[in-house]
Structure 1
Amino acid sequence: MEHIDRTPGIQLSESEAAAEARRIIEGLYRSEPAPEPIPTSYRDTSPNTPTAAAPVAQEGRPPMSQRATDLSGLMLAGSVASLSVGGATSLVLYTLGQVDPVTLAVGAAGPVALVLAVGSLIRSVGRAKQDMHTEHHHHYQGGVVQNTTHVDQTTKGVFANTRNQVRR
């Protein structure tokens, strides 16, 4: 039997294709077993090598710290809880049918207005803190002795541990 070149992309002539088909069919109906079984799976037993590459940010949601992830989950849980409470309240008020729509609108806008007012207050306090002048000018006539003491006070902890640091 002749050897046929099985390189992919090479067309066989009609006589070569018939000879190859005959060889395959005769091999299937052979009474003796094949010389060695054909493997159907492979297991790589070499040890895994750790990768030394740094992690790369993927597309989509940006990576967050664990604290940010925890807070995000907490906010999502709170939003689901507030949705159910608000929906139940709306359903009760709707079934009663005796509630004025203007009163409902004012009641719904109240918490939003409060949050906006507190945010504005915090921003204005932050701006006022930035605008504070830390430069002092003193004008004296005659002999002057000036003592300056600065006290840094920090309070930390649940039980209010206060520390004073005096600088002269």
Structure 2
Amino acid sequence: MDFHPTDGRPMSDSEAAAEAKRIIEENFRPEPPVRHFPTSFRDHSPVPAYGDAPPVCQDDRRIVPAWAAGIAVASLGVGAGVTGIGCGAWLVLQGLASVTLTGVLMVTLPFAGLAMAAAAIGGAISRARSAVTKNIYEGPVTHTTEINNHSTTRGMFFARTRNDIHS
């Protein structure tokens, strides 16, 4: 039998059930989760008069999506690559800006090498294609040494000459 908490008399069944329900709800009631969103941090510790301030633990719990981290890393890589290409172009253009005989020779040297290699390959191909042929002519051969030459010139300022050679 339960006793009343205020006056010590015995409780009825309905009073005991109501008191039990109140105690259970009070002690076992699920509380809504408390969401903590710190928007700033203020350190109230005193600042020393001189020297470095002591370190203060500042937890960083930002959540970055994987795609955002990937884009950030890729953009850093692209930026570094473009910077390298730009530096290389700058160096080449600086070298071309100071035109000296040595600079011109250094710039044209690869082109001269390519031209020389192309000429050597072309010569080798033409020699390989030209086969040794023996021409054998059969039949009478006539040799005419008489040439009938007829030349005509017309015009005063813009003259035109026509040569007709008949053998």
Q: TM-score range by the shorter chain?
A: under 0.3
For normalisation by structure 1, the TM-score amounts to 0.23
Larger radius of gyration: 2
For normalisation by structure 2, the TM-score amounts to 0.23
